[in-house]
Copies of this chain bind each other. A is one copy, B any other.
Amino acid sequence: MATPHANPTDSTAPDAHIGVDAPLLPADVASNAALGAPAFSPLYQQIKSLILRSLQAGEWKPGDMIPSEFDLAARFRVSQGTVRKAIDELATDNLLVRRQGKGTFVATHAEQHIQYRFLRLLPDASSLEAQGPAERRIIECRRLRAPAEVARQLDLRTGDALFQVKRVLAFSGTQAILEDIWLPGAAFKGLTLETLSSDKGPMYALFEAQFGVRMVRAVEKLKAVAADADAAALLGVEVGHPLLSVERLAYTYNDVPMELRRGLYRTETRHYHNELS
């Protein structure tokens, strides 16, 4: 047995099963140990990794329904409860979404009626005033070679191909956000200003559809800064005006960084919302 945990073939079980359907681990799971990983982990963690691997490999795409817990249990030769626990964790990580009566689905940035899942800027007036969809204007989209600092954060080498996108978001006619976005050239081959401009949904939904890149988590660093001439002009404020600087590093599956983004937010009538616990 690959794990040190209980296993129902133990002869001490009061209602001993015949050995026939003994839940031996399948090759997939056993290879986990054979792969040179000396660390034993609980079965459900191994199942979690296997599901993650399928997500990563694109076996199930964003929005797809994955097999039922029962099917997965059969496939991995474990009990439904074990699969359930694996899926539970993937669901709390927002990689999967459970819908009672329907099935379990791969999370997606599209068709989530909360338009921008990673955007935390909300109107101050609390806040049934649903801020209408942002108006977006792409300012430029160009190729360049990675500067050292950007390369470091994206796990690339200095000089590697990169896309840079610059855009402004506005709410009800007033500019609110100026963003600079850096993307690895290899993963986003063929990105153009036209593609970006013609798209209507969230940018991360486009990344899923066009490039098969799904952003699953991100880390942000916030600072208060003074607007420089460039930012002031694009956001319609005077030079020196306080802006909220939001530097975001976004990751795909398995903690691979795939986007660096620097936003400058106007916060006169909006705020960055955060919940602590």
B223, B242, B276: which contacts A225 (Cβ < 8 A)? B242
> Which B-chain residue is minimally distant from A94 (CB atoms)?
B277
Q: Is the beta-carbon distance between B221 and A224 smaller than 8 angstroms?
A: no
Contact between A276 and B221, CB atoms less than 8 A apart: no
B274 to A220, Cβ gap below 8 A? yes
Verify A224–B240 contact, CB threshold 8 A.
no
Q: In the complex, A242 Cα to B124 Cα: how many Å?
A: 20
Main secondary structure of the interface of A (DSSP, over half): strand
Q: Which residues of B contact A94 (CB under 8 A)?
A: 277
Nearest neighbor of A265 in chain B, beta-carbon distance:
B224
* B275, A274: Cβ atoms closer than 8 Å: no
Partner of A276, one of B220, B226, B267: B220
B271 close to A222 (CB less than 8 A): yes
Mask for A227-247, Cβ within 8 A of B = 1, else 0? Answer: 000000000000010111101
Residue of B nearest to A124 (CB): B221
Q: How far is the CA of A219 from the CA of B122 in the complex (A)?
A: 13
Chain B residue numbers with a CB within 8 Å of A272 are 221-223
Contact present for A225 and B224 (CB under 8 Å)? yes
Q: Which residue of B lies closest to A220 (CB)?
A: B274
A268 nearest CB neighbor, chain B only: B223
The answer on a CB contact under 8 Å between A274 and B277 is no
- The answer to whether A99 has its CB under 8 Å from any CB of chain B is no
Choice from B221, B225, B275 contacting A217 with Cβ under 8 Å = B275
Q: Number of A interface residues, CB 8 Å? A: 34
Provide the A249-277 mask, 1 if CB < 8 A to any CB of B, else 0. 00000000000000001010001111111
Instruction: Give the Cβ gap from A60 to chain B, nearest Cβ, in Å.
Output: 19
Name the B residues within 8 Å of A225 (CB-CB): 224, 242, 267
In the complex, chain B residues whose CB is within 8 Å of the CB of A15? 15
Q: Name A272's closest neighbour in chain B (CB-CB).
A: B222
| Shortest Cβ gap from A97 to chain B (Å) | 13
Q: Is A93 an interface residue (CB 8 A)?
A: yes
Chain B contacts for A271, CB-based, 8 A: 221-223, 247
Our pick among B118, B222, B245, B277 for the contact of A93 (Cβ within 8 Å) is: B277
Task: Kindly report which residue of chain B lies nearest to residue A117, judged by CB atoms.
Answer: B276
Name A residues whose Cβ lies closer than 8 Å to a Cβ of B. Answer: 15, 92-94, 118, 120, 124, 216-226, 240, 242-245, 247-248, 265, 267, 271-277
6 tightest A-B CB contacts, nearest first: A224-B224, A223-B267, A224-B242, A222-B272, A221-B271, A242-B242
